[in-house]
Amino acid sequence: MQKIQMKTPLVEMDGDEMTRILWAMIKEYLIEPFVELKSEYYDLGLPNREKTSDQVTVDSANATKKYGVAVKCATITPNAQRVEEYNLSKMWKSPNATIRAILDGTVFRAPIIVDGINPYIPTWKKPITIARHAYGDIYKAVEMQVPAGKAELVFTDKDGNERRETIHEFKAPGILQGMHNTDESIESFARSCFNFALDSKQDLWFSAKDTISKQYDHRFKDIFAEIYENEYKAKFEEAGITYFYTLIDDAVARVIRSEGGFVWACKNYDGDVMSDMLATAFGSLAMMTSVLVAPDGTCEFEAAHGTVTRHYYRHLKGEVTTTNPIATIFAWTGALNKRGQLDNIPELCDFAARLEKATLDTVNEGTMPGDLALLYKGSAEVKATPCAEFMKLIAAKL
Ligand code: NAP
Ligand code: MG
């Protein structure tokens, strides 16, 4: 069989632990026998981040900006315990945060739906994609615990003029938080969401709490509305999709009653919380894909889950695990399909679609990773299948 040829390299970001093992298997069994893989490889595994003082992460993000498409393996975000385990010179930042800061992107997470794995919400028939604004709010807040006294919000403009607002007169100890966002970041977020909705031909919902937060959340609502009117309204009408703003609590109620099939744009904290709820409600965190989309269309694809540490320790002890590679396979298909679209290689897009179908067909026949076997309610007889065996069965269908 002739292998599919690529034109532009795909930026490949390798990672850690169990997902690093899956990564090598996916390439060996599912990609390299079929595609003459052209990739620019960056090893974001923690030992190499330590060795390069994390320069490799910055380099991989810059390469993504240059070429336009990346695929990323899950990586460890070090904490104190990891600093000891890996003998690190520093608690390196989360690679995802570094990459996001350089690409200025929005993260879209969508579940992979399989027959037999039923969402907890019976009305959900189609995926719900969640878009999380990944800048500011409480994630960049400053906080204080204070004794009795007066708390004020003070802003000094560049000419030295001050604006003050009393937050609270504390009669007894309490707590304070100051947070911010920027018009520029909200505008990028809005454009990424409108573009993603157009690309995927799905309605876009945006929710905030503008009735309570009349300056802060209202600014989000206004920026979305302005950009929609000026830049996207005509395109949305032509595509037959709609943009719709509603309060966050109303959105939650509507999401539960919906049948899915739309993009839900959320502020940073709402997106953090709601994405975990949606992942669980659709069945499994291991079936969530994640793509970072920059305002200029640059994309980085990955699985939403982490490095599956507990399985890795079992793997190191020589046990055979049935870890779920599906979201990581779909990160590869997402990236190959996007590369095929940009470089006009229909065979590559077709291969990505066939690999997705072969993966889901294999599950439908009853051979599946262990976590899905526990959830499966379909008619096939179920077998929890080790990773390599599962991938060989998929490859046999290609
Ligand atoms: P995790 O790796 O997502 O795993 C949490 C648990 O979820 C696992 O122990 C496993 O449950 C289940 N699970 C997740 N993915 C699975 C899969 N593909 N197949 C089967 N089961 C799966 O999260 P974590 O344990 O909190 O974090 C581990 C490391 O990943 C951390 O160092 C963290 O920094 C990193 N992380 C990276 C990313 C990223 O790169 N995007 C995201 C999140 C976390 P059972 O053990 O019960 O089987
Ligand atoms: Mg979270």
- The pocket of ion ligand 2, defined by CB under 5 A, consists of 272, 276
Ligand closest to CA 304: 1
- Site to probe by mutation for ligand 1, drawn from 308, 372, 385 as the one with most ligand atoms within 8 Å of Cβ, is 308
Ligand 1, from 307, 310, 326, 329: best to mutate by most atoms within 8 Å of Cβ? 307
Average pLDDT of the chain is 95
The pLDDT tens digits of the residues spanning 261-279 come to 999 999 999 998 898 889 8
Instruction: Note whether 28 and 61 are within 8 A (CB).
Output: no
Cα 118 to ligand 1 centre (Å) = 21
Centre of ligand 1 from the C-alpha of residue 303, in Å:
10
Residue-level pLDDT at 284: 81
Identify the pLDDT of residue 105: 83
pLDDT tens digits, one per residue of 221-275: 999 999 999 999 999 999 999 999 999 999 999 999 999 999 999 999 999 889 8
Residue 380: per-residue pLDDT: 82
CA distances from 384 to 113, 181, 189, 264, 372 (A): 18, 46, 40, 33, 8
Q: Is the pLDDT of residue 297 over 90?
A: no
